[in-house]
Amino acid sequence: MKKMEEITFYRNKRGDKVWRVDRVDEIGGIEVSFDKKKIYNLWTDYPSKFSAEEIEIIKKEMPYWVDFFKSREEE
């Protein structure tokens, strides 16, 4: 029987639109959600799987990671 995965959603600041995602059994992943249903992995999904609106939100709320992945936007 497959064990239920424990996921916690939290926001860095009140009013943020990005939910950060913590999984009990995962280390090192940077995951986010905008609706607590669809979860994105920044390492593998940014920016190609994000909508234009989601990219703008990430730029505002997570500027460090936008700068970190800047070379991906220029491809």
Q: Which of 26, 58, 60 is nearest to 45 (CA)?
A: 58
Q: Please indicate, yes or no, if residue 65 is contained in any of the structural domains.
A: yes
pLDDT digits (tens, 9 = 90+) for 10-66: 999 999 999 999 987 767 789 999 999 999 999 999 999 999 999 999 999 999 999
Domain that holds residue 18: 7-73
Give the pLDDT confidence score for residue 23 in this predicted structure.
84
Q: What are phi and psi of 39, to 5 degrees?
A: -115, 130
Q: Please indicate, yes or no, if residue 1 is contained in any of the structural domains.
A: no
Q: Please indicate, yes or no, if residue 35 is contained in any of the structural domains.
A: yes
Residue 62, both tokens: 């997570």
Q: Please indicate, yes or no, if residue 2 is contained in any of the structural domains.
A: no
Give the pLDDT confidence score for residue 68 in this predicted structure.
94
Q: Please indicate, yes or no, if residue 59 is contained in any of the structural domains.
A: yes
Query: CA–CA separation, 7 vs 5, rounded Å?
Result: 6
Q: Which of 73, 57, 70 is nearest to 12 (CA)?
A: 57
How many domains, in total, are found in the chain? 1
Instruction: Check if the beta carbon of residue 19 is closer than 8 Å to that of residue 34.
Output: yes
